[in-house]
Amino acid sequence: MSKFSKPDDTKIEDAGVVYGPITKRQKVGRHCKRFWWAWLGGFLLFVLVIVLIIIFAAIPAIAQKKINDTELELHSLKILNPTAESFELSINGSITGATGSAAHARLEKMDVKLFLEGQDPIQPFLILPMDEIHGGDDVPVVKDSVPVEITDAGALDEFALRLMDNDLLRVAMRGRTTMWLGKIHTDIDYNEVVEMKALNQLKGMVITKYALVANNTAYNVEGEVMIPNPSVVTIEMGDVNLKIGLTGASIGTGVIPSLILRPGNNTYRFTVLIPDQANILKMAGAAIGGGTLTIGSNGTTIDGVKIPWLSKPLEKLSTEVPINTKYFEEN
Confidence band (pLDDT; 50, 70, 90) for 158? very high
Q: Can you give the pLDDT at residue 101?
A: 63
Please give the residue that has the higher pLDDT: either 272 or 133. 272
Most confident of 37-41, 64-68, 273-277, 282-286: 273-277
Distance CA 290, CA 284 (A): 10
pLDDT at 95: 82
Secondary structure (3-state) at 18: strand
Q: Which residue has the higher pLDDT, 114 or 14?
A: 114
**pLDDT over 50 (residue 305):** yes
CB atoms closer than 10 angstroms to residue 11:
11
Strands 71-80 and 126-130: unpaired
Gap between the Cα atoms of 309 and 312, Å rounded: 6
pLDDT band at 284 (very low <50, low <70, confident <90, very high): confident
- pLDDT the model gives residue 239: 97
Name the percent of the chain lying above pLDDT 90.
Answer: 47
pLDDT at 32 over 80: no
> Does pLDDT of 52 surpass 50?
no
Give the N- to C-terminal CA distance of the chain in Å, as an integer: 135
The band of 300, judged by pLDDT with boundaries at 50, 70 and 90, is: very high
- Any idea what DSSP says for residue 48? H
% residues pLDDT > 70 (the chain): 78
Q: For the chain, which domains are there?
A: 67-197 (2.60.40), 200-330 (2.60.40)
Radius of gyration in angstroms for the set of CA atoms belonging to the chain, rounded to a whole number: 37
**What pLDDT sits at residue 329?**
40
Residue among 317, 209, 295 at smallest CA distance from 246: 295
Least confidently predicted of 28-42, 149-163, 166-180, 203-217 = 28-42
Distances (CA, A) of 79 to 151, 159, 219: 16, 13, 30
Q: Would you state the pLDDT for residue 49?
A: 52
The mean per-residue pLDDT over the stretch 203-213 comes to 89
Mean pLDDT along residues 23-34: 61
**pLDDT of amino acid 179:** 83
Question: pTM for this one?
Answer: 0.78
pLDDT of residue 311: 96
